[in-house]
């Protein structure tokens, strides 16, 4: 009895699966069609929104330019005349004078620097920081301290 029930159940499930595949194909087609309709609706809404936003922005820019044109600027000042190019002077003929540059002036003697009025105080020298170290496995490690270590 159990075997007959089992065979009948397998037989029913086998044929019901064939019917389900046909339903799946129709469901898939219907779902794709619904999605395409939804997608085209959303795209149309976006295009309408974009066109409205562009129209609002164009109106805003037109009003801004009308207000901007109300303030006429000061005309630019006249540009100055261009600089005249240098004129080449005719060449001078060499002279027979031994010192053509004039009299020679002596070199000025430097004056000694004045001595300071107050004595110069020596700057205190800070001691070098203390260093200590140790060696471990043929390596030497050094450390330094900003204060003397006893």
Residue 11 pLDDT: 66
The predicted-structure confidence for 112-135, as pLDDT tens digits, reads as follows 887 777 777 888 777 676 777 777
In the structure, what pLDDT confidence band is assigned to residue 147 with cuts at 50, 70 and 90? low
Vertex 12 angle, CA 7 and 17, to 5°: 130
CA gap 146, 128 in Å, rounded: 8
Listing DSSP states for the chain in one string gives -HHHHHHHHHHHHHHHHHHHHHHHHHHHHHHHHHHHHHHHHHHHHHHHHHHHHHHHHHHHHHHHHHHHHHSPPPPPPPPPPPPPPPPPPPPPPPP--S-TT-PPPPPPPPPPPPPPSSPPPPPPPPPPPEEEEEEETTEEEEEEESS---
Q: Is the pLDDT of residue 4 over 80?
A: no
pTM: 0.33
Over residues 88-103, the mean pLDDT reads: 74
């Amino acid at each position: 009895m159990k075997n007959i029930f089992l065979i009948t159940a397998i037989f029913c499930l086998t044929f019901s699966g064939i019917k389900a595949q046909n339903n799946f194909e129709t469901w898939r087609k219907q779902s794709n069609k619904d999605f395409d309709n939804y997608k085209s609706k959303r795209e149309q809404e976006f295009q309408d929104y974009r066109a409205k936003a562009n129209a609002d922005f164009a109106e805003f820019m037109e009003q801004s330019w009308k207000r901007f044109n109300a303030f006429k600027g000061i005309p630019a000042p006249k540009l100055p005349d261009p600089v005249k190019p240098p004129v080449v002077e005719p060449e001078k003929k060499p002279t027979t004078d031994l010192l053509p540059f004039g009299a020679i002036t002596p070199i000025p003697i430097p004056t000694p620097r004045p001595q300071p009025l107050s004595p110069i105080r020596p700057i205190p020298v800070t001691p070098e920081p203390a260093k200590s170290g140790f060696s471990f496995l043929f390596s030497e490690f050094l450390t330094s301290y900003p204060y003397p270590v006893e």
